Structures are given as C-alpha cells and as structure tokens.
Amino acid sequence: MKSRWSDAEAAQCQDALALRVYSSQLLGRDADLVLHGGGNTSVKVSESDLFGETQQILYVKGSGWDLATIAAAGFTPLRLEPLMRLATLEQLPDLEMVNQLKTLQTRAAAPTASVEAILHAVLPFTFVDHTHADAVVTLTNTSDGAAKVREVYGDAVIVIPYVMPGFELARLVGERFAAEATSNTIGMVLMNHGIFSFGETAKSAYERMIDLVSRAENYLQQALAWEVTDDLPQVAERTACNPLTIARLRQQISEVSGVPMLLTCDASDAMRSFAMHPRIAAISQRGPATPDHVIRTKQLPLLGSDIAAYSAAYRHYFKQCASGHPDGASLTMLDSAPRVLLSPQWGMICVGRSRRDCDIVADIYRHTIPMILRAERLGGWRALPSEAIFAVEYWELEQAKLRKGRGSLPFQGEVALVTGAASGIGKATVEALLARGASVVGFDINPEVTRLYQRPDYLGLVCDISDSQAIVVALQQTILTFGGLDMLIVNAGLFPVGSRIDALDDALWRRVMQVNVDANLTLLRECYPALKLAPEGGRVVIIGSKNVPAPGPGAAAYSASKAALNQLARVAALEWAGDKIRVNSLHPDAVFDTGIWTEDVLTARATHYGMSVDAYKLRNLLKVEVRARDVAALAAEMCGPLFSRTTGAQLPVDGGSDRVI
C-alpha cells in the first residue's frame, strides 16, 4: 500500500482540524481501507470558550459523513475531559451514550458524533485513525486470526478481541491500552473489525496506518494468499437470458420487503466465476467480513433465486437469535429479503432502496470476495457467529431509528422511463421524478440526454424511438441497470411545420405517424411485460396535446397522430387494468419554454394574433403561463398515490381553453 501524503498539500492546511480533514480524505479515497461511511478519525485540540478559558476538544467524525469527502463541518467537537470520564463508568446504555455525546458537543449544529468517540478519547494521542483495511480484516477472519496478527505485528499493535462497537469496546480499549501499551505501540487491531493507528501529527498517524496495512499485505503475499484468481474456475460463455428474469426477481424481492426495491446486475467474468466456485455453498455462507456490513448486505447472500426459501431462513435466523438476545421480545424484525444474490449466469445481483444503496452493497461484496478467498488460503474463512452479527443488525441504535420511522420519497425504489428526455417537458419530467425519489432512464435521439445528470439514479440513453430494435436494446439496458420498470412517460414526438391538408406531403404525414403513433405503439408493447411486474403496479402517462380535443388549422398530421395516440392510450387503459397498470393522458397547450418555441416563432405567432409576446403567452382563460415544469409536475403526480384510483383519464394543462371546455 502506497502513501498518498503530500507535504506540499499538507502545508496548505492552516490548523490541526484542516490537517485532520486532509489525512481523513486520503484514507477515505482508498477503497482497500474504507468503504462508504466506514472508519472514523479524530484530533484533539485546545480551544478557548466564550469566557476565554482553554478547554480540550476532541473533533471526531460525525455520523453520516464519508471520509473520502469529509469537510471540517463533518467533525463533531466534544469536550474531552468529561468524555474520558464516561469510559470509567461500569455501564452506559447505547441510547444514553448518544445522549451524553450530544450534551458534550460545543457546536449545536454539528452532526451526531461517531459511536466510537469515547474510544478515540481514551487513546492518548493527538491524531487517531481507524479503518477497516481489507488485508487486516482478512487476517482477523481466519483460524487463529489473533495469532496471525501477532505474528505480523509483534508488539507494534495491541490486539483487542471482538466486542461490539460503543461503550463496552471503549471501556475495554481503555483498560487494555493502559495495561499493554509500550513505546513500540503504534496501532491497535480490533478482531473482526479493523485497525487503529495514532500519532502526534496527522502525517505520523496516517503513515503508520499505511505501514501497518502494508505489513498485512506483505504477509498475505509471502503466504501465497494474495493473488487468488487461480482458485476460481474459468467461466463459460454466458447464455442469453431474458432481462424479465431480473424484473420477476425484483417483484418477488419487493413483495418480501414490503416496499419497491431496485436491483443491479454485475455479470462480469469475475463475479460469475466466484458464483461458480466449487465450494461456494460453504465459503459464501459463513458471514460478512465485519459485523457492520450486515446493515447493508444482510448476514448471508442468496445462492440462486429462491426468494421464498431465503425469506424463511431469515425468519428462522431472527427467531433463533432473538431468543437469546436480552431485548429479544421487543425487537422488530427487519425485512427478510436478500441484498446479495450470486448466480453462475448473472454473477452478482445487488438489492437496495436506491441505486446508491445497490452500489454500496456491490462495493462491499466485491471487497469481501478476495478476503474470503485469501482467508481460505490461510486455513479458512471464519466470520463471527450469527449471534454477534445479529447483535449489530438489531442494535438498539438501529432499532430506535426504525421505531421513529424512516421517511422516504414517494417513488423511492421505483424506476421511471421518460422519452424525449433531453429537453422541454421530457427534461422537466426527469427532474420531477428524480425529486420524488425515482430512478430515471431518459431516452432521446439527442446525445445530450446522456449528459443531463451525473448521478447514480439517472441513466441517459440515445434511442431513436422510431427504431423498434433500438427500443428493445435500450429497454433491456434499463432493466439491467435498475431491475425493472414502474412508470413510463410517453413524451417524445414530432411537431412538424404547419401545413394545410391541401398541401400536406405524403412523406411528412407518414413520418409524423411513424414517430407519434407507430413508435409509441412499439414502446408500449415492449414495456408492457416489465410494467406488469411493477411492485406497486405499472403507470403510464401519455403527453398528448390540446390538439386532441381541439385541433387547429394547419396541423392535420400532428393533430391526427396525437388523436391516434390518445385512442391507443384509451385502449391500453381498458386492456391493462387487469394487470394493475393505469394509463392516463395529459393535454398541454402553449408550453413556451420548450425547443419548438423559439423567439422568432413566438414573435411570429403573437404578431399573427395582433398581440405582444407577453400577452400571447397568457392567451388562456386563467391568464397564466403554462411551463414545462407545470406539465411535468402533473405527470409525476399522475404516477403517484393521488391518482391510484384513476385510469383512462384525460386532463388538460392549458390554463383553460374555451375550445376545450
């Protein structure tokens, strides 16, 4: 492992807290040290209070912050002396510990301090670093792991047996460190948990961490337990499989979870090869690398796709472990759905309420696999027993969050597809759906659709909807990216230059019909099987036009195509209601913040009516301007609970038109 420290970069830091931020980010940027919010760091400083009196303050990483991106605001300042006194108590329940940490904050707006704040306080060093380094965790999850750790480090570290994070661990560390530390001690290994390093400077604490982890890596290399790809079988060429298999799995998992869930699929050779390991049934079923992973991954992955069997096994696990838990009678069982599925054909499927959750699960398990294989080379992978894993999964602090209720956005865990997403109403609809928690896929012929958002819950695909094969391919990619499809917003269309019937060109007529009707028929037909598997029922919103109920002269092709699409939607509402798919239409008019309404076009139309541009924009009964975001908001609401009892509806979004009314 290489040090990322730069004296030049460190020289830019103005104080100890800035150095703490800098070295924390160095740790957080190395996935072999820290994954997604794991690990924590601290620094002890002297500060003056409002009375000018000097007090010792511990700045420790706050809950919810990631070391890779942490800022000064992510560290919670706590009064050090009373914090250290807490470690002398005989007992301190978790909820009371959190309460005490809150009362010791010197900044009310700071995040809740790490539950390991007391542990950081009792270590007599200015800078304290804690990571879950893969190499170290590998050693601790083997037979005679403690002996291997001592073989690697000698008296450079103190070895602490596994104790659940929080007060008990802090008290034990305080006792053991005082009794065992020597002048050679530069770190501490927590069995089945991670490693600490410390020093009087940020650089010394950081580089000690790099040195200690490098020693573990070197040990694995010398024991021929580093390069382990030879332990995996060669994969055969993957046979084609209908992505709807994934959508069906998602439906089953969501039913067990009680809420819609997303699925992501990693069908790489590496993942498929691990799933094909001849001893996969044994090595994958021994537990996670560290107990805190259980919050993300559950205790065990599912081999294959029998969701019902996994759910039954989880309920048995809960019942068995809860019977021996001191608070077992009051525990609320979490959902019994898997978070990781392993399959020789699909590799690894990860489950979460958001794409970010899925990605975190995937990252954790991608790091777990080499740890398992390396530990097997050292005599066998040995995770903690179920009772210890259960204690973290059903930790009092996690149960308290559950009892308070975890609010979620209305479309969290659901997938929406928007056509014509690169601009206008389509782009606004993407924004509205993302704001409501959906994962969104945008189709558009314009490559700009791929660059709309750089975030995990958005996928932009270049797709000409008049190409039926392009629709099939893009829809497959949608399902493989998010696991299924819940909502379809049919927005893409062609608005041709005005032409009276006597001058209407056949080619133009056919092109408009091809895009506005034929292409959308293909889209609806291809989306139907996935919409039928939507956990909360499928939803379709057709972006029609005021020209459906009230056509105007010079727009025969457009008006007729939109009317045909509207009729198609009505038939779909009739045919698909039995599959719990609802289909509704919106008919906007005069939405001027879209691509077709350039300043020249606006000016020309306003002049035609003898009006100013501003007056022309308000040419409706309510005298209001209809914007793309207004249409988008209603399209999103049509997919929500307010319209859960409505299908086949047609709503104008036009500010009121006497011709429509």
Active site members = 558
CA angle 640, 644, 646 (to 5 degrees): 120
Three-state SS letters, 275-337:
HCCCCHHHHCCCCCCCHHHHHHHCCCCEECCCHHHHHHHHHHHHHHHHHCCCCHHHCCCCCCC
CA dihedral 630, 633, 638, 641 (to 10 degrees): -140
Helix axes 424-435, 628-638, angle to 10 degrees: 50
Length of the chain: 661
User: What sign has the CA pseudo-torsion 246, 249, 251, 256?
Assistant: negative
Cα distances (angstroms) measured from residue 517 to each of 345, 526, 543, 548, 589: 38, 14, 12, 13, 19
Which has the closest alpha carbon to 369: 283, 265, 279? 283
Cα–Cα distance, 24 to 134 (Å, whole number): 17
Place of tokens 């020309």: 604
Q: 124-161: buried (b, 16+ CB within 10 Å) or exposed (e) per residue?
A: ebbbbbbbbbbbbbbbbbbeebbebbeebbeebbbbbe
Cα distances (angstroms) measured from residue 151 to each of 217, 220, 549: 13, 12, 82
Cα–Cα distance, 438 to 423 (Å, whole number): 19
| DSSP string of 488-525, one letter each residue | EEE-----PPPB-GGG--HHHHHHHHIIIIIHHHHHHH
Close Cβ partners of 622 (under 8 Å, ≥ 6 residues apart): 655, 656
Q: Are 496 and 510 in contact (CB under 8 A)?
A: no
User: What sign has the CA pseudo-torsion 138, 144, 147, 152?
Assistant: negative
Tokens of 627: 């914007």
Cα–Cα distance, 105 to 124 (Å, whole number): 20
Cα–Cα distance, 253 to 357 (Å, whole number): 15
Cα–Cα distance, 74 to 28 (Å, whole number): 13
Tokens of 436: 């409501």
Q: Are 490 and 541 in contact (CB under 8 A)?
A: yes
